[in-house]
Amino acid sequence: MGKGRNGILRGGKDPERYRRYLNTFILHFRPRNVPDRTLRFTLTWGLGGMAVLLILMLFGTGVLLKFAYHPFPDRAYESILHLQYDIQFGQLIRNIHHWSANILLVVVFLHFLRVFFTGAFHPPRQFNWIIGLCLFLTVLLSNFTGYLLPWDQLSFWAITICTGMFDYIPGAGLWLQKMIRGGPEVGPYTLTNFYAIHTIILPAVIITFMPFHFWRVRKAGGLVIPRTPEETNETRGEMVPSIPNLIVREIAMALILIAFILVLSAFFNPPLEGKANPGLSPNPTKAPWYFLGFQEILLHFSPLIALFFIPVLMIIALVSIPYISYPSSTAGVWFASSKGRRMAIDATVAALIATPIGILVDEYVVNFAVWMPSLSPVISQGLIPLGIVLAGFYGFYLLLKRRYHASKNETVQVAFCFFLTAFIILTIAGIWFRGAGMRLAWP
Amino acid sequence: MSEKKTKNIKEEQFPQEPSRRSFLNKLWIGLGIFALLEFSLLVIAYLRPSKTGVKSGDHETIIEAGLVAKFPLNSVTAFIRGKFYLCRLEDGGFLAVSRKCTHLGCTVPWLDKEKRFACPCHASAFDIKGELIHPPAPRPLDLYRLFIENNMVKVDTGKRIKRSGFRADQVVYAKKVQT
């Protein structure tokens, strides 16, 4: 171990070399320098990074769970019990997996909001918005397929009604339902399908699209540069080295998040009800919490509208956001402008008021099916209420546009805020305000 | 040269590209798409749920519910194995209704005190004939084929029959014994 030998044993005498190795390793996936202004926490809130970390934790705990879980109806539930009670740290691993999955949904959703409100979908980031939407869908499907695996009453019936909804999609709906269920009913083939999708197909999709998503960020020159509405787009400002400025911040966020998940997992167990019983449906039977917005919509509109038209409209709207012809790129400005800020607040408040009123009115006052029995329910409970909602929004939209003399940047934001808030209220109603028989009730 | 006379329109738009190359390129792309389609069909055929191997009418799917006399009038008896209810109406006729709610597939219990099926999921309700008495279910409960042989009520659970409404010919009556 003298001088002149190149080997790891030299370490004690040459710490600088290790630091260099570590730095060059990090610099394989981090730029050498980053704009100082993008280091500000309130630009991204670290949400994208949190999402990546959570996915890694899910992969890690998922692999461990794979050693304990048996994907068969007469063994799945028992294998979870065995994991929780007999395997050392089994309960902890399951808890981490469950909380990471649910927090990931929230984080990814907030990241989606942040990207929208900072205008990080304007060129050259348009296609990355689409990739992001695909990743969002993948995370949603991962949560959904994982939900069935414990095979308890909660899982079995939630998946029964969610796959039951496919029946109402015109054309290929029934075929899709049979493919997903592996048969006419939720059963052993459903479990096999969901297990394969959850543990292999979706991870493969994530592993493919996530690096693509990151690469597109790098290609666009990194994070969107925050600015006030008056500044122009192109001032990158001062550049600082990633090591240590960016890395230290990222490590700090990562450690905080890991600590948070561990504490949560140490104290709170995920639900596990009785073993699945196909002969007994619980009252009420609810979809997983992230789908309760849709279940709530289903309670107000006919199935064809709620399960086909509305989702299709939502997808078209989301996909087209980057491709609308905006008068200018407001990338980097929170809420596009100060006008945009005020309009966004107006739209949010309007939806906060209109949505609960709409829910209550539809529940207790209006009953189109009875008032117009001659019309098919698709029209009386579908197109007519949808028409009323859209007409109401359009009126509000025109009002705001005229009042503020707003441009497309702000008005698209208004539409986004309004419907987003409405959807959140509907989800809250579905989670906490629906009780036995799915009637409105205090939580 | 004679090739120039047989130039197609594409050639005029891309005068640089020789027609043979573009034709071969298009051929490759076409074959590639065809291969992709073939692969997709293969995967779908593989993933498609196989027929369970039990066809309607097999002895395995036909359940012997019991002798006609065993079922009182205006009663509903649950059969867990067959996933159906055997309903005997006031006039003695029989109906075998599925236990799956036609809304989203929850299992509907029969509430004897209220004389109706009430779904716990979204409060759909059906009467003893399986007819819809409360939404949001879109149609009455499905039926299974029921027949009576030698005074024994038999139900074929192999095939579920969807119906848009109740019709008198759906009910099965035991043949009157000639005295």
Query: Do residue A179 and residue B121 have CB atoms under 8 angstroms apart?
Result: no
Query: Do residue B106 and residue A281 have CB atoms under 8 angstroms apart?
Result: yes
Among A160, A189, A284, whose Cβ lies nearest the Cβ of B49? A189
Residue in the structure block whose two tokens are 């208004």: A414
Q: Residues of B with CB below 8 A from A161's CB?
A: 104-106, 121
In the beta sheet, which residues pair with residue B85?
B78, B97
Q: Give me the torsion for CA of B159, B161, B167, B169, rounded to 10°.
A: -20
Shared domain for B43 and B108, answered yes or no, is no
Residue type, A436: A
Q: What is the pTM of this model?
A: 0.88
Taking Cα atoms as reference points, which of A178, A165, A185 lies closest to residue A304?
Answer: A165
DSSP for A215-227, written as a single string: HHHHHTTSSPPP-
Shared domain for B150 and B77, answered yes or no, is yes
B133 found inside a domain: yes
Query: Do residue A299 and residue B122 have CB atoms under 8 angstroms apart?
Result: yes
A119: region left, alpha or beta (phi > 0 left; psi from -120 to 50 alpha): left
Q: Residues of B with CB below 8 A from A178's CB?
A: 48-49
Q: Measure the N-to-C terminal CA separation of chain A; round to a whole number of Å.
A: 70
Q: Residues of A with CB below 8 A from B136's CB?
A: 299
Search chain A and give the residue with CA nearest B106: A281
What is the CATH topology of the domain spanning A29-230+237-282? Cytochrome Bc1 Complex; Chain C (1.20.810)
Q: Which domain holds residue B123?
A: 62-170
Query: Do residue B104 and residue A439 have CB atoms under 8 angstroms apart?
Result: no
CB A400 within 8 A of CB A411: yes
Search chain A and give the residue with CA nearest B107: A281
Answer whether residue A145 shows pLDDT above 90.
yes
Search chain B and give the residue with CA nearest A186: B105
- Total domain count for chain B? 2
Instruction: Please indicate whether residue A171 or residue A415 has the higher confidence score (pLDDT).
Output: A415
Kindly tell me the burial class for residue A414, based on how many C-beta atoms sit within 10 Å of its own C-beta (0-12, 13-18, 19 or more).
buried
Answer whether residue A251 shows pLDDT above 80.
yes
Search chain A and give the residue with CA nearest B52: A183
Distances from the Cα of B53 to the Cα of A74, A189, B20, B50, B158, angstroms: 22, 15, 53, 8, 11
User: Measured between CA atoms, how close is A313 to chain B, in angstroms?
Assistant: 23
Shared domain for B79 and B35, answered yes or no, is no
Query: Do residue A178 and residue B49 have CB atoms under 8 angstroms apart?
Result: yes
- The pLDDT value given to residue B56: 56
Search chain B and give the residue with CA nearest A163: B104
Shared domain for B84 and B146, answered yes or no, is yes
- B62-67/B152-161 β-pairing: antiparallel
Model confidence pLDDT, tens digit, residues A268-290: 999 999 999 998 998 888 889 99
Q: Which two tokens stand for residue A151?
A: 């095979």
User: Measured between CA atoms, how close is B149 to chain A, in angstroms?
Assistant: 28
B175 found inside a domain: no
Among A181, A184, A438, whose Cβ lies nearest the Cβ of B122? A438
User: A427: how many CB neighbours lie within 10 A of its CB?
Assistant: 19
How much is the mean pLDDT over chain A? 91
Model confidence pLDDT, tens digit, residues A335-361: 988 889 999 999 999 999 999 999 998
Distance CA A192, CA A171 (A): 26
Distance CA A114, CA A131 (A): 16
Among B99, B121, B123, whose Cβ lies nearest the Cβ of A161? B121
| Residues belonging to chain A with any Cβ–Cβ distance to chain B shorter than 8 Å | 157, 160-161, 163-165, 178-179, 181-186, 189, 193, 278-285, 299, 303, 369, 377, 436-439
- The pLDDT value given to residue A1: 46
Can you tell me the mean pLDDT for A33-39? 92
Answer whether residue A164 shows pLDDT above 50.
yes
Model confidence pLDDT, tens digit, residues A231-248: 776 677 889 999 899 999
Shared domain for B24 and B72, answered yes or no, is no
Answer whether residue A163 shows pLDDT above 50.
yes
Model confidence pLDDT, tens digit, residues A324-336: 999 888 888 899 8
User: Measured between CA atoms, how close is A201 to chain B, in angstroms?
Assistant: 13
Search chain B and give the residue with CA nearest A178: B49
Distance CA B174, CA B151 (A): 7
CB A154 within 8 A of CB A271: yes
B14 found inside a domain: yes
Shared domain for B39 and B69, answered yes or no, is no
3-state secondary structure of A120: coil
B57 found inside a domain: no
Taking Cα atoms as reference points, which of A106, A101, A54, A49 lies closest to residue A253?
Answer: A49
Q: What is the CATH number of the domain that holds B81?
A: 2.102.10.10
B20 found inside a domain: yes
User: Measured between CA atoms, how close is A393 to chain B, in angstroms?
Assistant: 27
Shared domain for B67 and B155, answered yes or no, is yes
User: B80: how many CB neighbours lie within 10 A of its CB?
Assistant: 9
Chain mean position to CA A229: 29
Answer whether residue A128 shows pLDDT above 50.
yes
3-state secondary structure of A170: coil
Answer whether residue A312 shows pLDDT above 60.
yes
Instruction: Please indicate whether residue B120 or residue A427 has the higher confidence score (pLDDT).
Output: A427
Query: Do residue B138 and residue A303 have CB atoms under 8 angstroms apart?
Result: yes
Answer whether residue A91 shows pLDDT above 80.
yes
Chain mean position to CA A303: 24
Shared domain for B20 and B73, answered yes or no, is no
The number of C-alpha atoms within 13 Å of B48 and in the hemisphere containing its C-beta is: 10
